[in-house]
Structure 1
Amino acid sequence: MTLAAAAVCVVANAVVYAAPAPGGDDVTCRPDAAHPRPVVLVHGDGAGVQATWPLLRDSLRRDGFCVFAPEYGRHTAAETTNLLDFAGGSDIRTSAIDVGTYLHRVRSSTGARQIDVVAHSMGALTVRQFLRFDGGWIGGDPPTSVVRTLVSVAGPNHGTTFNGNQGLRDRASRLGLPADDAIALGVGPSYTQQMVGSSLLTELNAGGDTLPGIRYVALATHDDAVVTPPASGFLAAVRGAAVQNVWVQDGCPGRVVSHSQMTTDSRSRWMIRQALDTGAVSISAGPCAADATATPTRAGR
């Protein structure tokens, strides 16, 4: 496979400003006592809101949650990268600012002091970048954060080899080929920023994966062929942060759930709902039977 062909095959996701998906946000929704915090769903790269969140978004809304979902990381006329216009393809640092602006807007419009976030794949890095570097978290005693609970769903929190694709990129670079430039041109810089050892991940994880005052639930699947190794999705707690790392197979050994199915699988969605309700997941209950339809939507990395 040529470098250009590999770049076309790569899936990524980003934006120069985050905007509601068409027809997606109910700006009149106000949180109630049962669900006091709005929920924002942040997609990853390669698939936007409509490909990632329909099942979870609709089920949460039926249960009374105020749910919002930005579309971000797309190509704009001002950019010279992500020419294929992949969702989430933009530089993660830029996307973090855009998503952060969106979170502030949701908080202002709903009157909520804090927000809960569910982030799939690269979306977890985008939100964590905002919290650490772009004003989403303010230290103190107690610390102040825009986000109360962050549910990372198959996030590449410690990097991914993309099931061997990083090795191909590294070999091309050693041969003097402009691998990173070619990939960024086609699908955006966020793809290589997710790779193990990237400068973005080194900066993001320096000093700890998490921040005090925030509840983190990190969900992963043993069947992930996008975030490799799958345990890269797990987080370590710093003092003052609550962290729970959960395999979707915990309590249901042998359950098969792919990377993209983590946003559609009934057990994964049940775990996400638990995390939003209580900030933690119990593995002793919830659905174990195989879903009637196992066909995943096209969800990104």
Structure 2
Amino acid sequence: MIKNLVRRSSALLLALMPLLAAAPASAVPDAPEASGPDPIVFVHGWNPDPSPWRSMATRFEADGWPADHLDQWSYNSTQSNATTAAQFAEEVDRVLARTGAAKVDVVTHSMGALSSRYYLKYLGGATKVDAWVSLGGPNHGTEVARWCGGAACVEMRPGSVFLKDLNSGDETPGATRYATWRSPCDTLINPPSSVVLDGAFNSTTACLGHSALRTDGAVYAEVRTHVR
């Protein structure tokens, strides 16, 4: 009897094999979806809180960036940019841990370019930042900084020890994709050519004020293309 049951089971299995082989493709589990865009860390300039980024962050969210991938970071802008860079390194690590991303994109305005560049050049940031953006950054200093005080302002003055060190050698180190935007009508970055970096995609905007670089629609569209 046992032999008969074995023979019948084997015969049934052979009969079912063509049906199993013809199983529909939908029975195969779907492959994981591609990961979304990199998180963006926004870095403000001297003196303000992160609120000026709301306009740009809202646009990124409308274009598909998850709200928790848009980090409007705040820091004490009176301290040395080197100190801010160390704090920024911790913030990037927090964002990567929270989102599970491999890298972030960094969008900076004004003095925010300096601390983030220090992080990229000296604190290992080039391995964690995919795309970097400077909107009206005093990358080679601004004469306006001669009229304000404190460590950060001194570092923004043309020819400062901080800027000489930051701009020595390669201005755009690592595999990070660098881009800058400058306005011919930006009276706070003097001269406007200070924004330009060797090795970056450097763009000149329409006649915009310093703050308008964060809110202008055309600038946003170009930044979005760069970080996407």
TM-score, scaled relative to structure 2: 0.80
Q: Secondary structure, in 3 states, of the residue corresponding to 2:131? A: strand
Question: Which secondary structure state, in structure 1, belongs to the residue aligned with residue 193 of structure 2?
Answer: helix
Alignment of 1:54-73 (within 5 A): 54-65=54-65, 66-73=69-76
**What per-residue deviation string (whole Å, max 9, x for no partner) do you get for residues 147-203 of structure 1?**
0100111101111111xx62xx6xxxxxxxxxx8xx22xxxx111211100111011
**What residue in structure 2 maps to residue 213 of structure 1?**
175
Letter in 2 for 1:244: F
CA distance in 2, matches of 1:125, 1:210: 12
Q: Which runs of 5+ in 2 are unaligned?
A: 1-32
Paired residue for 1:135? 124
| 2:136 equivalent among 154, 157, 164 | 154
Q: Which residue pairs with 2:156 in the alignment?
A: 194
2:187 to 225, 236, 258: 225
The structural deviation recorded for 1:33 is: 3.6
Q: Aligned to 2:211, which of 260, 281, 284?
A: 260
Distance in 2 between residues matched to 1:244 and 1:134, nearest whole Å: 23
1:117 to partner: Cα distance: 0.6
Query: SS in structure 2 opposite 1:217?
Result: strand
**What SS does the corresponding residue of 1:53 show, helix, strand or coil?**
helix
Q: Distance in 2 between matches of 1:90 and 1:268?
A: 29
Partner of 2:10: none
SS of the counterpart of 2:202?
Answer: strand
Residue 34 of structure 1 and its aligned partner are, at CA, apart by 6.7
Q: Gaps spanning 5+ residues in structure 1: where?
A: 1-31, 74-87, 138-144, 170-179, 238-242, 250-255, 278-301
Paired residues in the alignment total 193
2:201 to 244, 256, 278: 244
**AA at the equivalent of 1:36:** P
Q: Which has the higher helix share?
A: 2
Tell whether 2:123 aligns with 1:123: no
RMSD: 1.6
SS class of match (2:106): strand
The separation in 2 between residues aligned to 1:130 and 1:202, in whole angstroms, is 16
Partner residue of 2:85?
96
State the distance in 2 between where 1:117 and 1:43 align.
11
Name the structure, 1 or 2, with higher relative contact order (CA <8 Å, separation 6+): 1
Aligned mates of 1:34, 1:104 — CA distance in 2: 18
Using structure 1 for the length normalisation, give the TM-score: 0.61
Q: What's the counterpart of residue 108 of structure 1?
A: 97
CA distance in 1, matches of 2:36, 2:55: 19
- For the residues of structure 1 that align with 2:124 and 2:202, how far apart are their CA atoms? 25
Aligned equivalents of 2:104 and 2:215: distance in 1? 22
1:230 and 1:264 map into 2 onto residues whose CA distance is 18
Higher-Rg member (1/2):
2
1:29 maps to none
